[in-house]
Structure 1
Amino acid sequence: MAVNIKKSRDIHSLSPFMNIVFNVIAAMFSLVCVFPFAFVVILSFTDEKSLAQHGYRLIPEKWSTYAYEYMFQNGAQLLQSYGVTITVTIVGTLLSVMIIALYAYGISRSSFKYRGFFSFLALFTMLFNGGLVPTFIVVTQVLHLKDTIWALILPMMMNAFNIMIMRTFFKSLPDGIIESAKIDGASEFQIFRKVVLPLSLPGLATIGLFCTLAYWNDWFNALLYIDNPNLVPLQSMLMRIESSMSFILQNSNMSGLGSLAASLPQETSRMAMVVLATGPIVLAYPFFQRFFIQGLTVGSLKE
């Protein structure tokens, strides 16, 4: 028996040389993934004239923070937009994950009488929707959400694709865990809260990451429903800055705009926008990533 175990370990173990090779390959692949963002950060700190003369370089001829200084000319408004985006992302993600998990758990249970109807209801919205005009009318005239922060949260709170992901995840959980909880006298909600949710952290982290990215990158709802400058999210604010720069550059032949257009950091400001828009959301990945590597039911059932 011991000999068989040793042979099995020898078969599945890697030699030191192959271990080094695979580590080098993984490191190179990671570098390829990280390099574009790192290069954008470097370009955002490059002097605009140096960039125009020498092109894109890994080590700029001249460093400059003028792109960020230009972006933070309206520093109070930019920080306000950051606050709105962070609030919308946190509140929207928490509400979305909670409601999607409840909905998906209901339609994943074979004992739920109407699971076929509600499954069809979710799938139908993946194929058809009411359209932009009816949605705008419902949000503004029926729900009266225009110029409120809920106009940035509620329209994106339910997502049929995330519901299907969680339903599949819940159905993959062993029935023995749920049956044993029922034998112990737990109610359906207690089973969901104390048994199912702790085992579903990888699935919840997955849809949580999807919801976080969706809320953070959303600008379209602000374009439709937000006129109050105090409620403009970050992405919409950056788009307005980009539109203002494009207008100045396209009309630089007008009196008074020529000198202003010449002083604008055209390329470096775009790189700074990318850094400002994507930098904070990168911090969310380590939080979600640590749940992906966990086993679903390690140690849950023992024979």
Structure 2
Amino acid sequence: MNDRSTAGQIALYVFVAAISLLCIIPFIIILSSSMTRESDILVHGYNFFPRHFDFNAYHFLFQRKNVILNGYKITTLVTLIGTVLSLAICAMIAYPISLRRLKYRRFISGFVLMTLLFNGGMVPWYIINVKYLHLHNNLWALILPSLVNGFNIFLMRNYFASIPEEMHESAKIDGAGELRTLTSIILPLSVPVFASVGLFIGLAYWNDWWLGLMLIDKAELQPLQLLLRTIVSNVDYLANSSVLSTSVDQMVPKEGVKMATTIVTIGPIIFLYPFLQRYFVKGLMMGAVKG
């Protein structure tokens, strides 16, 4: 290896390290601010290291630990069920339209594409979900409206289309039908795209609060993000009240609560990503450029 290539690799490592540091810095600031005394944040702003450690924000949140734990349970259940069902349905749509021998595949692809460009609007969406599909105050209201996404279907379709046609022909010669070909041959070869799309779907379900706001009235069915959003909104309202502002500033660490809610909700995703990271780039690139 010559000096020029070595210098190029060093420059690349430095560049990647700098980008990684830029991604980590916001998380460090949020974590530090969640453990900082409220008066320090108001006077000195956000810092990398707390001037005075203070865990009142977490104490304030976990005074409602039963509510937060229930929100965790609902969100975890919705994320697991929604991700598995969405992957299955998207795969069953993407696989047929990836086959060139399928009749009307262009029409079906165009129909899927149309869902990315147009929607019926909020009012028709709400009427269909509540009046006709009865998705109101039940767990399925947090799952079914987001079950199918055209972008995910196209990623999976393009990845399936990159698998050599000879694989399909050999399976057909051995007597396998389309379902057997999909489950026994295509799916084992498609772990990268399933990991990538599964991460997208899981993040969408985990971070969603809109469906809970629109379709859920029962407090025991509200997802974690909606519960924490409600807590932060209530803290902001009380802290900005002209009557209560002074006393609330002393009792409630408004800025610290905002940072603490971020830390509380981001934890599971941070632990999940390292397991999927080795598949993520490959699946995303293959699904984006092939087909």
Q: How does 1:260-275 map to 2 (within 5 A)?
A: 260-275=248-263
Match of 1:283 among 235, 246, 271: 271
Gaps of 5+ in 1: 1-9, 297-303
- AA of the residue aligned to 2:31: V
Q: Distance in 2 between matches of 1:135 and 1:22?
A: 48
Moved more, 78-87 or 26-35: 26-35
Of 111, 136, 141, which aligns to 1:151?
A: 141
Partner of 1:283: helix, strand, or coil? helix
Deviation at 1:150, TM superposition (A): 0.3
Report which of the two structures shows the higher radius of gyration computed on alpha carbons.
1
- Residue 192 of structure 2: SS of its match in structure 1? helix
Query: Does the residue aligned with 1:260 lie in a helix, a strand or coil?
Result: helix
- In 2, Cα distance between the equivalents of 1:219 and 1:34? 25
Query: 1:115-154 maps to which residues of 2 (within 5 A)?
Result: 115-154=105-144
Is 1:233 paired with 2:214? no
Choose which of 80, 83, 92 in structure 1 pairs with 2:73.
Answer: 83
Q: Which residue of 2 aligns with 1:165?
A: 155
C-alpha contact 1:205 1:288 (8 A) present in aligned 2: yes
Query: Whole-Å Cα distance in 2 between the matches of residues 68 and 226 of structure 1?
Result: 26
- In 2, the alpha carbon distance for the partners of 1:295 and 1:118 equals 23
- The AA in structure 1 aligned to 2:14 is V
1:223 Cα deviation after fit: 0.6
Question: What is the Cα deviation at residue 18 of structure 1?
Answer: 4.5
User: How big is the alpha-carbon RMSD for the aligned residues of Structure 1 and Structure 2?
Assistant: 2.0
SS at match of 1:101: helix
Measured in 2, the distance between the counterparts of 1:295 and 1:155 equals: 25
Once the two structures are overlaid, the 10-residue window that deviates more, 245-254 or 223-232, is 245-254
Q: Are residue 66 (structure 1) and residue 56 (structure 2) matched?
A: yes
Which range is displaced more, 207-216 or 19-28? Answer: 19-28
Distance 1:77 1:215 in 2: 19
2:100 corresponds to which letter in structure 1?
Answer: S
Query: Which residue of structure 1 lines up, in the alignment, with residue 204 of structure 2?
Result: 214
Amino acid at match of 2:248: L
Residue 258 of structure 1, CA deviation: 4.1
CA apart distance, 1:293: 5.9
The structural deviation recorded for 1:31 is 1.6
Deviations 1:67-87, CA, capped at 9 Å, x for gaps:
111111111001100111111
- Contact 1:222–1:233, Cα closer than 8 Å, also in 2: yes
Where does residue 112 of structure 1 map in the other structure?
102
Q: 2:63 aligns to what SS in structure 1?
A: helix
Helix, strand or coil: the match of 1:221? helix
Please list every run of 5 or more consecutive structure 2 residues that lacks an aligned counterpart in the other structure. Answer: 285-291
Query: Whole-Å Cα distance in 2 between the matches of residues 242 and 268 of structure 1?
Result: 10
* Aligned residue identity for 1:124: M
TM-score for both structures, normalised by structure 2: 0.91
Find the aligned partners of 1:294 and 1:269 in 2 and give their Cα distance.
Answer: 38
**Count of equivalent residues:** 283
1:185 matched to 2:175? The reply is yes
1:252/1:261 contact within 8 Å kept: no
What per-residue deviation string (whole Å, max 9, x for no partner) do you get for residues 181-232 of structure 1?
1122211111111111111111111111110111111111101110111111
Structure 2 residue corresponding to 1:46, chosen from 36, 43, 62: 36
